[in-house]
Structure 1
Amino acid sequence: MIVPGYRDHPAEPWDPIAPADPGEAEDFLRRCYLENPRLGPVEPRLAIVRAQIAATGSYVHTTDELTHGARMAWRNSSRCIGRLYWRSLRVFDRRRARTADDIFHLVVHHLETTAAGGRIRPTISIFPPAQPGRAHARVWNEQLIRYAGYRTEDGGHVGDPGQIAFTDRMRGLGWQGKGEAFDVLPLAVEVPGEPVRLYELPERAILEVPLAHPEFGWFAELGLRWHAVPAIANLRLSIGGVQYPLAPFNGWYMGTEIAARNFADTDRYDLLPLVAARMGLDTSQESTLWRDRAMVELNRAVLWSFERDGVTITDHHTESRRFIAHLRNEEKAGRPVPADWTWIVPPLSGSATPVFHRYYEEMDLRPNFYPGEEAHCPMRSH
């Protein structure tokens, strides 16, 4: 549904897209076909791709190449701890979408099917690739689902302070919001030659979990909740030299992303002082470790609530062990594993997890995801 009161806004400049690099295309295709022998010999395919690049500056991936390329991109994402299941990534080929309405309806389908029954499935929807020298479709949102942030007259805020600037932009286009702590922002979709359009996500596309605590009855009185699908919307997917600027991608949440970052960061919801006060903790000095105790209980509440409602989530200890298993699998396959220590190590009890006690190498392996105008990693969304 288009936002009531929506006002047209002129298109913003697009980042220029360079022609596909034939060498990068060949490297991708050789590895793709090597890892998928059922695709047959690669040489005939390489001849076709070289001719397409020479004629147009780009080439068209087959469905199999697109699917495996997206999975390889997840496998190569150095900031993602959840890569053990890269082979299970569900890929929706949306390259035929052209209008803003098409994109919106397909995004709604992505969210609905991904969260069906609470069992979150890693999913990516890949929209048309960018062509050299041409504009391309995109969404302005950093995630498909984000909560608005509002400034108040007394200098405070309501909702997510990290989204105040974006919320102001949406309000400037006619969106109002309710002014509450968990208002879902509209989706801003822009296609070449048209102004940006705002759409309200339907309730059926937004799975949310109300938060309570297994021991503290007062916790439910805080009125906290969080959405179940962390779908990053502004990463550029690069496969074999072809760029896909609109490829929303989700895994499932790790509890610390919500409780130790979204809720605990001082420039986000900043809930540690409130939780500590309700727990009756001594906050007179840092050495009482009131922040640590409050953060642990916030994390317990998030994990317990998602599990109570049958919604997929993982804890940082389990996911750390899974990442070590992923390292072993890739080593057996003879593939390097790029990893950014500062992102792989969880923000709570890091040294109690196995990912803390080793070093990693950062490498720009392709296919991969790259920042758009503003972007985050697919599985560390905060």
Structure 2
Amino acid sequence: MRYDIRSLLGTNERYANSGNSHRRALRRLSDGERREEARAFLNTYCKESGATQQFQQRRWAEIRRELAAAKFYRHTPEELAFGARVAWRNHGRCIGRLFWESLEVFDCREITDPAAMAARITDHMTAALSDGRVRSMISIFAPVENERIPARIESGQITQFAGYLREDGQVLGDRQNVEATRIAMAMGWKPPTDPSRFDLLPYFIRSPEDVRSMHALPLSAYRLVPINHPTISAISDMGLAWYAVPCVSNMILSIGGIDYPCAPFNGFYMGTEIASRNFADTYRYDLLPEVAQALDLDMRRDPLWKDVCLTELNRAVLHSFKESRVTIVDHHAASKQFMDFYNIENAKGRHVSGDWRWLVPPQASGSSDLFHLRVRNKHDVPNFYASRATDGKFLMPFYGCCQSNCNSSPIDAMHPKSMDR
């Protein structure tokens, strides 16, 4: 009996990857679906880059041949950079998409060793922080090629704070990271002698063999901003802090039917992300009762005590980042920027995807134009997704029109009943 060696290798790869933890998160596209996403992406790329019809026909023929031979094709550096920027433009949960064209894209597809990846991440974080004027950047590592799963980052963000579970059941630090802290300590990470609420954790990379390794940023690659209030010393005395650059590292970048499971990207903070969510959420730092005590508020009699705490926390965060000369935006300015983005995209005939629950700021929501905006998340590709079990299952090419060309008036577009609430 004759055997096709390529077929045997494919079987072995599938067997080796069947238990891969990341394989379960990836979308499973048929050959036809991958080809359709590739075609739609190329159409968008050629249209927006001004490519000639001859170029598009030639490039599509190349892609078809690669897909037919290997069920995979390789993006050119130009296609990769364009796809990453459009993925940001399409991502319905991001309020800061006005600046999508300024995203700095670094092609790191040839860097596959975890140690070399960690070195690149250090360079990324150092450059993103710069002198405090945060640069929006993405480093794109190797894609999924058939059954071969490349190394990827397991941690949700490159910079995260530890959460220490104490014997009495209380948590010191970030409750969200209790398990990550336990894993880091089991792998040899030593917390400071005097643990605090804001101890930076190492991050984890999994190799193609699904082996976890631990990596720590050097001091030069990150910066902690001490949180001080401009007028209320009791908040300053709480000893709060946060890191300057949020770098999301466990999202999968999908471009034209090809998935990049390791593509860490960063923007800069909106104040409410820190003050109204990270500090206030009960499953994170749950600081509102502590702030209320610092402000001497009566939590039993004053129904608005949380509002007061949130406002002063936001004031402290914005003041501290500006005092430290680190880029940040308040939620009112960010909402206006999104409306500018929305209007620009509609004027260019492009649909704007949006997840209302993520776009509307958690502070003073009703005062934002976003609160009254009718949006729907089309999950257009290119895009980012967390898992095929959640948002990934909705991704697909979008062939519709922008709202201004649909059978809806400008009044409809601003109707208070959002389609995604």
Scaled by the length of structure 1, the TM-score of the pair is 0.92
Give 1:361's aligned residue. Answer: 376
Residue 44 (structure 1) shift: 0.6
- Partner secondary structure for residue 118 of structure 1: coil
Larger relative contact order (Cα-Cα within 8 Å, sequence gap ≥ 6): 1
2:328 is equivalent to residue 313 of structure 1:
yes
- Partner secondary structure for residue 41 of structure 1: helix
Give 1:167's aligned residue. Answer: 181
2:276 is equivalent to residue 263 of structure 1:
no
Deviations 1:34-62 (A, max 9, x none): 10015872111111111111111111101
Structure 1 CA distance, aligned partners of 2:38 and 2:389? 26
Structure 1 CA distance, aligned partners of 2:165 and 2:373? 43
In the TM superposition, 1:5-154 aligns within 5 A as 12-15=20-23, 18=28, 21-37=34-50, 41-154=55-168
Contact 2:84-2:382 within 8 A present in 1 as well: yes
Residue 283 (structure 1) shift: 1.5
Counting aligned pairs with the same residue, the percent is 41
Deviates more, 1:270-279 or 1:306-315: 270-279
**Change over 3 Å in CA distance of 1:194–1:238 after alignment to 2:** closer
Structure 2 CA distance, aligned partners of 1:215 and 1:194? 51
Contact 1:142-1:374 within 8 A present in 2 as well: no
Structure 1 CA distance, aligned partners of 2:77 and 2:149? 23
1:27 partner letter: A
2:143 partner letter: P
- Partner secondary structure for residue 269 of structure 2: coil
- Partner secondary structure for residue 42 of structure 1: helix
**Change over 3 Å in CA distance of 1:231–1:375 after alignment to 2:** farther
Give 2:356's aligned residue. Answer: 341
In the TM superposition, 1:227-238 aligns within 5 A as 227-238=243-254
Deviations 1:83-106 (A, max 9, x none): 001000010110010211110000
Contact 2:112-2:150 within 8 A present in 1 as well: no
Give 1:278's aligned residue. Answer: 294
2:335 partner letter: S
Deviates more, 1:365-374 or 1:354-363: 365-374
1:371 partner letter: A
Contact 1:71-1:86 within 8 A present in 2 as well: yes
- Partner secondary structure for residue 55 of structure 2: coil
In the TM superposition, 1:171-320 aligns within 5 A as 171-178=185-192, 179-193=195-209, 195-287=211-303, 289-320=304-335
Deviations 1:302-346 (A, max 9, x none): 000001111000000000011011010000110000101111100
- Partner secondary structure for residue 120 of structure 1: coil
Contact 1:58-1:132 within 8 A present in 2 as well: yes
- Partner secondary structure for residue 188 of structure 1: strand
Residue 364 (structure 1) shift: 1.7
Contact 1:255-1:302 within 8 A present in 2 as well: yes
Gaps of 5+ in 2: 1-18, 393-421
Residue 368 (structure 1) shift: 0.3
Structure 1 CA distance, aligned partners of 2:51 and 2:233? 56
2:158 partner letter: L
Deviations 1:242-275 (A, max 9, x none): 1000000111100000000000111111111111
Root-mean-square deviation (Å): 1.9
**Change over 3 Å in CA distance of 1:169–1:320 after alignment to 2:** same
Structure 2 CA distance, aligned partners of 1:308 and 1:373? 42
- Partner secondary structure for residue 371 of structure 2: coil
Give 1:6's aligned residue. Answer: none
Contact 2:269-2:328 within 8 A present in 1 as well: yes
Structure 2 CA distance, aligned partners of 1:164 and 1:374? 24
2:23 partner letter: D
- Partner secondary structure for residue 356 of structure 1: helix
Contact 1:147-1:163 within 8 A present in 2 as well: yes
1:169 partner letter: I
Aligned residues: 366
Contact 1:93-1:126 within 8 A present in 2 as well: yes
Deviations 1:122-179 (A, max 9, x none): 1110000011112221111010110010111222110100110121122222223223
Structure 2 CA distance, aligned partners of 1:86 and 1:148? 31
Structure ID, larger Rg: 2
Residue 219 (structure 1) shift: 2.4
Contact 1:189-1:196 within 8 A present in 2 as well: yes
Scaled by the length of structure 2, the TM-score of the pair is 0.84
2:349 partner letter: G
Give 1:3's aligned residue. Answer: none
Contact 2:111-2:142 within 8 A present in 1 as well: yes
2:137 partner letter: T
